[in-house]
């Protein structure tokens, strides 16, 4: 489905969000990446009173990915992961 492995996509994600500490604790790169994207879409780093909507967070993340120095394939794959998480009904 994707031309990049999840290890490569996790490294690409780290290039875009340089200040994010991503715990590995025995999880796979796929699990870490998907959990991190989900947390990001839910605006988990913000206080509940100032959290943005999933739509705002998705648009912000997409813009940041597109404006990054990643390859086009990496950009498409990361945006697709964000789409997948939204389509799964992130509440």
- List the pLDDT tens digit at each of the 91 positions of the chain: 455 799 999 999 999 998 777 777 888 999 999 989 998 898 888 888 998 988 999 999 999 999 999 999 999 999 999 999 988 865 5
Q: Which of 59, 54, 65, 45 is nearest to 89 (CA)?
A: 54
What phi and psi values does residue 77 have, to the nearest 5 degrees? -65, -40
3-class SS shares of the chain: helix, strand, coil, % to 5: 60, 0, 40
Using a 10 angstrom Cβ sphere, with 0-12 exposed, 13-18 middle and 19 or more buried, the burial of residue 23 is exposed
pLDDT attached to residue 23:
72
Q: Where are the domains of the chain?
A: 6-87
pTM: 0.85
């Amino acid at each position: 489905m994707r031309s990049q492995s999840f290890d490569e996509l996790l490294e690409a994600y780290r290039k875009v969000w340089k200040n994010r500490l991503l715990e590995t604790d025995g999880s796979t790169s796929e699990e870490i990446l998907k959990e991190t994207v989900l947390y990001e879409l839910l605006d988990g780093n913000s206080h509940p009173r100032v959290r943005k909507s999933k739509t705002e967070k998705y648009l912000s993340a997409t813009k940041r990915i597109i404006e990054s120095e990643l390859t086009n394939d990496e950009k498409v794959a990361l945006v697709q992961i964000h789409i997948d998480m939204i389509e799964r009904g992130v509440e």
